[in-house]
Every structure is written in structure tokens, then in C-alpha cells.
Amino acid sequence: MGDVRGFLKFKREESCHRPVDERKQDYDDVCILRSEKTSKDQASRCMDCGTPFCHSECPVANYIPEWNDLAYTGEWKKAYELLDATNGLPEITGRLCPVLCEYACVLGINDDPVTIRENELAIIENAFKKGYVKPAKPLKRTGKKVAVIGSGPAGLALADQLNRAGHTVTVFEKDKKAGGIMRYGIPDFKLEKEILDRRINILKEAGVVFRTGVEAGKDFSVERIKKEFDAVALTGGSRVPRDLKIEGRNLNGIYFALDYLIQQNKRVAKEGFEGEPINAKGKTVIVIGGGDTGSDCVGTANRQGAKKVVQIELLPTPPKTRPKSCSWPKYPLLFKTTSSHEEGVIREWAILTKKFIGQNETVKKLSCVRVEFVTEKGCDIMKEIPGTEFEIETDLVILAMGFVHPEKGLINQLGIELDQRENVKTGLDYMTSVKNIFAAGDIRRGQSLIVWAISEGRRAAYFIDKYLMGISYLPLI
């Protein structure tokens, strides 16, 4: 390590956010990148801990201590090369990852952990600035063709690795542009699409073919896919939203979060969209769901000019510090205040929505009750608290309660077996019940994190390469 006492010299310093009044007026990135000096100082806090739990907790097994040390000593190119060895989308995880690694940081036992995510972002942005990032063109082609269905994080990671192995990779995307959930589900104020386009263009230069606006199984038949490709990888994600099937659900003014976010992202990109416009301007908005997708809806509603935004969650308020039941280095579910929350929202926890109340066929109120969770026979049981019934007035309701399973159109056409949760079932080699058809990411794993989707894509690429060639020199993680 370059400076074994760095963590004693410098305290944790995160990136700054633009002022709330300024950033609410646009969809530009809310964060301000740190200076190179600050990034070096923060990288020096990575201590010589002996056993780097950050590395073991990272789904893509980033060489975190090593590239922290290289960043601290100013060897940015070497730091980038180590980062690129395990993660082909560090500019994405450097902005969006929930940092499982930081909660496993040894320094975090009795001090603030290292700013691993922001150090990662500093390395990759420095690499782009100095021209270190080049298309990874293979030395020769294998003659094998692979179809990747879906261009989200799993699809891009998988396509990148298989292209490096020399296979000819074609990525099919039913939307107008590639990127999947990263383009259409995540607001620009968290991930500007120029960042995504920059990476996709590099993959194109490396030889990956993108066929956008083409829906596999519809515009490009299953028979043709099987005939033209030696292997197929399904990376379409988990896109069927969890619904709230209660009285009044058929009222106007109730929408799924992804429909809301996709529409606004298309507005920002000046793309056309189908369906009824959803706009929060001048309205009281209720967001049901306390996760990151709900937070994205809060930020979007505020930028559209909502009169008031309320976010409600069924579960109780999370603790602000690590509970004893979740000891280090496990990832704890803690109370989280995002940049969107800072911009204005009323947050309520342990709220059960009983029914939607409408007027003139449009939602106007939510009938709710407060709940508590009690432990009975080792299980947490939710119970309504008598006498706590209340109503919330609203003009617009956004359902942000997660996703249940992938869309099944193509899956059914291919005759692929599903697991008990209705996700695509695979073996340890990521192959489905149909020979030469593989699956990776949320479509196989279920709703999860972008960093896990990247990990899944890279692992699946190894097994696809091994299936095609008999042996693979790609990393297994």
C-alpha cells in the first residue's frame, strides 16, 4: 500500500450534489465529480487490511484494494486496466451501485468506509478523459454466432465478453435504442444517457452488432434465431410489475412506476411514446413503494412540478445504523435518503393501502391503515393497528413495488422451463431446458441489482464460450 496511514489523515468525503433549487429545474446529473486530488486522497484511505472483504462481497469481484492503491499513487492507466478486467460497465456501477463492497470494508468496522464506488467512478472517468478506453477487438473470429436478446446490463456485459472471445455477437433490442432499463428505467439525473451511449459505441467499434427496434420472436422469428445462431442468450430482465389488486384499482390516474419513468425518459430524449401522457405538474402524487424505483419517481414528479409528493411503504422504518441481527460484513437494509428525497417528499412507513377511492372514474383518495410487524413462532407477522385508519388525498398514484417475473412471450415460444418463481430455470452452466439457449440477469435470477446483472452476464459468457469451443479462457466471474 502506498500510504498505510491514509485512513488516519483523511476522513470520508463523498461527491457533492448540485443545489436542490438548481437541479430540480433540469434532468442533468445531480452529482458533481470530485477533483483528481480528492480522489487520490480518498483512495489512500484504503488500508492494508490483509483480508479484503470488499473484494469478496463485490458481485463482479473487483480488485478494489489494488486499484485504490494505484489511484492513490497516480497510476491511473494501471488502475483502469485492473478495473476493466472484472467490470465492463464501471461508469454505470460507479454511479448506480448500492455498494455492497463499502458495507464490507474493514475500515467501516469502527470508522467511515472507503468511498469505493466514487473511487471506481474516478478511475473510469479519468480513463475516458485520457483515452485509455479502447474497443476490445478480438485478434481473430471463431466463426460462431451468438444472439443476445436484451441490451440491459446483463446483455451488454455478456456481449462484451463473448465478443472479446472472438464470437460474432448480435444484440437484439425491441426498443428504439439499446440500454434496456439503464436507458428507459433510470432517470437522466442519475444516469445521463450520453454515458450509456459512450459505452455502447465502444462495443459497436469492437464488433458487437446491435439490432434495435427488433423484437425477437415477433420481428425476428424463433425459427430464424435458431437457424442463424449457434447459441442464444436471454437477458431480457424482469419486467412484469407487482400490482396492487385492491378495490378501485381500475380507476384512472393509477400507473406503474416503469411506465411513468419510461415515458419521461423518452420525453427527455425527445422520443415519441405511446399511451396516455402521465404528468405530475400541479398534482398531489402518491408513490407506493419505498425502494430506489420509488425514489426515482419522487425525483421525476418534483421535476415535473408536482404540488406535493408522498411516498409510502408497507414495511417499517429501517434502522439508521447497522442492527445486531445483520453483523458486518453483511449488507444491511438501512434508512436511505437519496438525492430525490432531498428535493422534497413526505415519507411514511408501515402503511397498508386498503382501497382506492375515486370520483368521476378518477382516483382521488387512498384508504390506508397503519400496521405493525410482530414475531410469532419465529416469523414476522403483519397486523393492522386498530383505530389507525386514515385517508390520503391524491391526484396521481404511482405503483413502485418491484417486479415479479420476466415477460413470457419469447420464453413460451422457445418452450423454456420456468422455476417456482416463474423466472427462467437454468443449470449451473446458465443453460436453459432447451439446448444452446442460455439465460442471465434478472430474467433468471429475479429482480436484483445492476451489478449482479453484470456479474451474471459475465458468468454466462464463460459457459457459452465453453459450450461453443469446448474450453474457455474468459474469466468465470
Could you read off the pLDDT of 422-442 as tens digits, one per residue?
999 999 999 999 999 999 999
Judged against a pLDDT cut of 90, whether residue 48 lies above it is answered with no
Task: Please tell me the least confidently modeled range out of 149-163, 256-270, 373-387.
Answer: 373-387
Judged against a pLDDT cut of 80, whether residue 38 lies above it is answered with yes
Judged against a pLDDT cut of 70, whether residue 1 lies above it is answered with no
Beta strands in 360-435 (DSSP E): 362-376, 379-384, 390-393, 396-399, 403-405
Strand order in the sheet with 254-256: 254-256, 396-399, 284-288, 308-312, 346-348
Mean pLDDT for 36-59 is: 94
pLDDT of residue 180: 97
142-173 tens-digit pLDDT? 999 999 999 999 999 999 999 999 999 999 99
Distance, CA of 319 to CA of 303 (rounded, Å) = 29
DSSP 8-state secondary structure symbol assigned to residue 243: P
Question: Cis before residue 241, ω within 30 degrees of 0?
Answer: no
Distance, CA of 436 to CA of 434 (rounded, Å) = 7
- Asked if residue 68 lies in contact with residue 114, where contact means CB atoms within 8 angstroms, the answer is yes
106-134 tens-digit pLDDT? 999 999 999 999 999 999 999 999 999 99
H or E segment to which residue 303 belongs: helix 292-304
CA angle 76, 81, 83 (to 5 degrees): 90
DSSP 8-state secondary structure symbol assigned to residue 60: T
Domains of the chain: 6-129 (1.10.1060.10), 145-239+404-469 (3.50.50.60), 243-401 (3.50.50.60)
pLDDT of residue 50: 86
Distance, CA of 309 to CA of 287 (rounded, Å) = 7
CA angle 212, 216, 447 (to 5 degrees): 90
Place 76 in a pLDDT band, splitting at 50, 70 and 90: very high
331-344 tens-digit pLDDT? 999 999 999 999 99
Mean pLDDT value across the chain: 96
- Asked if residue 350 lies in contact with residue 315, where contact means CB atoms within 8 angstroms, the answer is yes
Distance, CA of 341 to CA of 69 (rounded, Å) = 34
Judged against a pLDDT cut of 90, whether residue 477 lies above it is answered with no
Place 275 in a pLDDT band, splitting at 50, 70 and 90: confident
pLDDT of residue 274: 87
349-378 tens-digit pLDDT? 999 999 999 999 999 999 999 999 998 888
pLDDT of residue 207: 98
> What percent of the chain is predicted at pLDDT more than 90?
95
Please give the C-alpha separations between residue 347 and each of 288, 290, 307, 308, 391, in angstroms, as whole numbers: 10, 8, 15, 11, 15
Closest CA to 106 of 71, 62, 70, 55: 55
pTM: 0.96
Non-local (6+) Cβ contacts of 186 within 8 A are 96, 261, 265, 296
Judged against a pLDDT cut of 90, whether residue 299 lies above it is answered with yes
Place 21 in a pLDDT band, splitting at 50, 70 and 90: very high
Closest CA to 288 of 358, 392, 361: 392
pLDDT of residue 316: 96
Closest CA to 173 of 213, 207, 222: 213
Place 105 in a pLDDT band, splitting at 50, 70 and 90: very high
